[in-house]
Amino acid sequence: MAPQRGRRRLLTFAGFLLAALTLLAIGGPLRSASSGLARAIVSPFVDVVRGLTKPVGETFAGAFNYANVVAQNHQLERELGRLELKQRSAGFEQIQLRDLLALDQLPFLGTLQTVIAQTNYQNLSDFTATIEIDKGSSSGVLVGMPVVGSGGLVGTVTATTSGGSTVTLLTDASQSIGVTFGSMGYQAVVHGQGASKPLDEDFVAPGTPVHKGETMYTSGLQGGLFPAGIPVGRIAVTHIHRGATEVSISVEPLANLNELDYVDVVLWEPGS
């Protein structure tokens, strides 16, 4: 009796596992068909609960990231001071026009065409870092195209539908970007380490002059995945381990990945 029950239990387990594997196999269409409905069901509850729990979450975030909050506050104070100075020396309309022009035609893009897209949704997972934007293949957006914000490189388009796209952020662990830095144009490759984490860099030989705060730009190499010259990040920390064959460098993305309400998709195909 007992072995029979054990066999039946294992069969049930196999059945459930098979169902889950089937979900994995046919997942794409099933998800696109039902995720909208699921979001529509959940979002009113999310809005209500978020309204109630926001102060608690902010308190928690402040408590665990206090040093960051203080540092960011100081940085913001400095930036605010600079902005106030600028505002006093120029008219409001002038500043507005300049900001719009900066958004419309980012200086580092040169003659490359772009499509401005609005971010619909930011996916938070411990395993991937992506955003959903409202422009897709009908607007000329294709898989592999770079996405930039006013600060620099944001990521790449990794999936498209006719009316929307998924952008994998440069901090995602799957991302590798060929960069160049320094006056001599040193080459390196930076890797994403996960959402909210700095980028990690390798292939920098010991003795290479690396300066904290130095800006890194896409090199146009690494399989030609990005056009050359897009600002990627700023060197935050450098470290050489004893006996190591390369310098360990931590790079902070230049684009503010927490504020991606609007982004520019660069209409540039890899390898072109």
Kindly compute the dihedral angle of the four CA atoms of residues 220, 176, 246, 200, in this order, to the nearest 10 degrees: 120
Which stretches of the chain are DSSP H helices? 2-25, 27-64, 66-89, 92-104
Nearer to other proteins, 13 or 96 (CB): 13
Nearer to other proteins, 50 or 212 (CB): 50
Does position 166 bind other proteins by CB under 8 A? Answer: yes
Q: Which of 106, 114, 117, 130 binds other proteins (CB under 8 A)?
A: 130
CB of residue 6 vs other proteins: minimum separation in angstroms?
A: 10
Residues in region 67-106 near other proteins by CB under 8 A: none
Q: Which of 35, 105, 118, 161 binds other proteins (CB under 8 A)?
A: 35
Query: How many residues line the site for other proteins (CB under 8 A)?
Result: 50
Q: Which of 78, 170, 174, 244 binds other proteins (CB under 8 A)?
A: 174
Task: In whole angstroms, give the CA distance from residue 81 to residue 86.
Answer: 9
Does position 241 bind other proteins by CB under 8 A? Answer: no
Residue type, 182: G
Q: Which of 1, 3, 62, 64 binds other proteins (CB under 8 A)?
A: 64
Q: Which of 123, 137, 208, 248 binds other proteins (CB under 8 A)?
A: 123
Interacting residues of 191 by C-beta distance below 8 A, sequence separation 6+:
173, 175, 176, 177, 199, 200, 201, 202
Interacting residues of 40 by C-beta distance below 8 A, sequence separation 6+:
none
Nearer to other proteins, 24 or 184 (CB): 24
Distances from the Cα of 8 to the Cα of 85, 202, 247, angstroms:
76, 52, 57
Return the structure tokens found at 233: 């990040």
Residue 135: exposure state from Cβ atoms within 10 A (0-12, 13-18, ≥19): buried
Selected range binding other proteins among 49-57, 78-86, 101-109, 204-212, rule: CB under 8 A: 49-57
Q: Which of 133, 135, 149, 195 binds other proteins (CB under 8 A)?
A: 195
Nearer to other proteins, 21 or 70 (CB): 21
Task: In whole angstroms, give the CA distance from residue 153 to residue 132.
Answer: 16
Return the structure tokens found at 110: 């040169």
Q: Which of 53, 75, 118, 138 binds other proteins (CB under 8 A)?
A: 53
- Report the interface residues with other proteins, using CB under 8 A: 9, 12-13, 16-17, 19-25, 27-28, 30-31, 34-35, 38-39, 41-42, 45-46, 49-50, 53-54, 56-58, 60-61, 64, 123-128, 130, 166, 172-174, 193-197
